[in-house]
Structure 1
């Protein structure tokens, strides 16, 4: 890791206030060259008023916040310059810092230094990026939980239990000349191993929920042509996102957009109407409708009249493993007859006038079956973490199989060691290759 003193813009230019961050051993020396005060002996956690100067030219009136190592975000000597948000001023300040000894920071380099200096583990560092990218209450809570170390603490507990098992087995190997000596009771070992595996499996299974929350839960709006699918999408989005027309087959491709319902993001997909057609382009759209159903977790089936047996069978066939919500549209026009929907309950709405939309939104939220989340809940959202958990589960499963086959302690110990190392990859407890670190931090914003 370079020991250069780095600088970067930490806020988007153009606002009322802009912040430039600096970190490294020469932070205060470099700042003192461009600031109206000598900050080399400044006290930690202090704010200093003055001007950024280029020779006799005053660039801006600023406040400088000083943080002394190790009590800073990066663990290094650090400072933040709060100045006016003009793009010209910010670029001028950065140019002056670079001319006086700073280097432009790379993406995520401040957080990478925080990790390398022991201010946070690797999973917490990744949570910083998730927190910045959070778009709803759920993803914010998940990122905050991980940043506060709840995931790390759980992994530490699991690793401590695994390490205890490994130590007992390896102690037996040290006394291998005493064949009857057994430090690790095999029945207790099996029980504890299964308990650990259950925790790892539960964490891995949460990845599906985590991905849905992070990317938005996919909801497909399907039905025959001209039943009001595009009108419903526009009503849910509160925007004229899709073209609405009385002409059959107007929607010929999928249209996607997102909304938040009770803090959860849902990704709605308006699809082409399902019907028999000779139009080649429309047929492509219908094929994509079925593809959208396959990808969706929730399917909204919109009807405006009693569906035929053929339509019922077609929809049920393609939504067998989906949460299906049947919606009777055009309440302002529809009759009061009971529809033959094989006992499926349905919600009556008017997409045109907004009747029943709140009830529908609540039904969609309940269909997602997302438990109420708090900052203490652990939901895995990172593919790297999920991969490590799956591999750790495989290692633990080999230990369970080995215990059942009464394998020797040295073979069991090797699989336990691999599980320990795999879990350590998540938090960075193992020495992490530079290319892995580079891949993790490359998508961070510059200045973080």
Structure 2
């Protein structure tokens, strides 16, 4: 897999895996500041200061100027520096967290100021006058990582929690932030370290003490069980990544079937332009939404036609089909008038071959739904009539009636049933039980939430498989165990993390 050679570790060297990787970060002796809450008008905004000189803010900008007791809130007047005329800026609530008992592990001060743009701007300007510098994006969390306050999996959990839009994303991020994932990976590292210690003992003393058979017999089941456990997590159907990014749902169908109206009705806002003109939607319109606590990315697409009128429409159709193919859930939308021969008689003969092909695909795809839209154009249907029409549609399409839905955006018909069907579909894709979908417990949380975790765990499994192929070649076997430990260390941030950090922290806000 394109490995770089690892230095052979002996003696107590392998115990170093339990220590955080502590390469110096940029200007670690600096004291930094940033607005930690959102910029804009608010009742209260929080400005955070971290570093060895954080308490200097009291002597320079507040009255009284003494350092308050740690973890006790105090009300003080905030002034500009003497060089700026000592003008009162605000009356603020001050909190002091003495290092290492703080988020960053350093001295931290929080100023809870009134949340106007004028107050925030004046406060930040004053902080820049007393030898503090503005924090880089994610720098507070980076300092917490380097000071051993959290491992890399917790850092990623914090990033996901800040970005969480649904309760499922929040639960998964909190489970990771609280150290559950890191604890599991560290447990795996300890198991492999113990196996490596035994193999290295065999290298050094096995021939003299005749321990080779006994040691290998002890190590083999340990490594095999761990390999099987990691492989099971790798076979989770990418559940963790899906929760982070959202289940992708495509809305496809012929022009003017009401796809954009359907999206707007589900999103409860005018996300897509709606008009009776054929081909209004030319590109994909995405809406992220919370579907009963579950993350969904719903995409409206261009109408699919076998006779596009111009190259732009042709490109829109290509993109629609491409999105449809990669989506986890597929909604095929038809206008009731396009298939209705009479009030109670249906016919699909007028549909273009491309649409018929979508229906053929939908009959075997358990995550595909047929939406018959604009039913408000018919006289009101009784439940019995609706059931009869679904049965006739099943006879024509072989799509089960449980995946056929009648809707009207005009009269708000059928959406409760449709949304519940979609929610249960998402639960099924994630492999959760109904209790897990609405629970705050971590049972549904996945160990693998990012592609880098999956890549590195595949490397671990590859190394363990190579170990198991020929454990009697102890020098080579020890190298495979070292590489497995090394790959796990890259997940938690114990080794070789600088490039990973740059990717993770670029997504953080300035004040975190």
Q: Tell me the TM-score normalized by structure 2.
A: 0.80
Distance 1:85 1:191 in 2: 60
C-alpha distance after superposition, 1:73-107 (max 9, x if no partner)? 11111111111112222222222222122121111
**Matched position secondary structure for 1:21:** strand
Corresponding residue for 2:8?
none
Aligned residues of 1:74 and 1:119 also touching (Cα < 8 A): yes
Corresponding residue for 1:442?
506
Matched, 1:397 2:453: no
1:318 CA displacement: 8.0
**Matched position secondary structure for 1:101:** coil
Aligned residues of 1:107 and 1:442 also touching (Cα < 8 A): yes
Q: Tell me the TM-score normalized by structure 1.
A: 0.91
Corresponding residue for 1:293?
324
1:314 CA displacement: 4.5
| CA shift in 2, pair 1:190/1:325, >3 Å | farther
| CA shift in 2, pair 1:37/1:434, >3 Å | farther
| CA shift in 2, pair 1:57/1:433, >3 Å | same
Distance 1:187 1:319 in 2: 52
Q: 1:411 aligns with which of 455, 468, 476?
A: 476
Distance 1:125 1:207 in 2: 24
Cα-Cα RMSD? 2.4
Distance 1:397 1:177 in 2: 25
Distance 1:314 1:322 in 2: 13
| CA shift in 2, pair 1:273/1:435, >3 Å | closer
Distance 2:87 2:365 in 1: 69
Segments of structure 2 that go 5 or more residues without pairing to the other structure are 1-24, 340-346, 379-384
1:330 CA displacement: 3.2
Corresponding residue for 1:21?
48
Matched, 1:5 2:31: yes
Matched, 1:63 2:93: yes
Q: 1:154 aligns with which of 173, 184, 197?
A: 184
Distance 1:119 1:357 in 2: 47
| CA shift in 2, pair 1:396/1:101, >3 Å | same
Task: Indicate the larger mover: 215-224 or 417-426.
Answer: 215-224
1:172 CA displacement: 0.9
| CA shift in 2, pair 1:259/1:435, >3 Å | closer
Distance 1:278 1:223 in 2: 14
1:435 CA displacement: 4.4
Aligned residues of 2:135 and 2:510 also touching (Cα < 8 A): yes
1:224 CA displacement: 2.5
Distance 1:208 1:189 in 2: 30
| CA shift in 2, pair 1:437/1:236, >3 Å | closer
1:317 CA displacement: 4.2
| CA shift in 2, pair 1:255/1:53, >3 Å | closer
| CA shift in 2, pair 1:109/1:240, >3 Å | closer
Aligned residues of 2:32 and 2:135 also touching (Cα < 8 A): yes
Distance 1:445 1:207 in 2: 31
Please give the residue correspondences for 1:301-340 in structure 2 after superposition, counting only pairs within 5 Å: 301-303=332-334, 304=336, 305=339, 306-308=347-349, 310=353, 311-317=355-361, 323-333=367-377, 336-337=388-389, 338-339=392-393, 340=396
Corresponding residue for 2:4?
none
Matched, 1:50 2:76: yes
1:140 CA displacement: 0.8
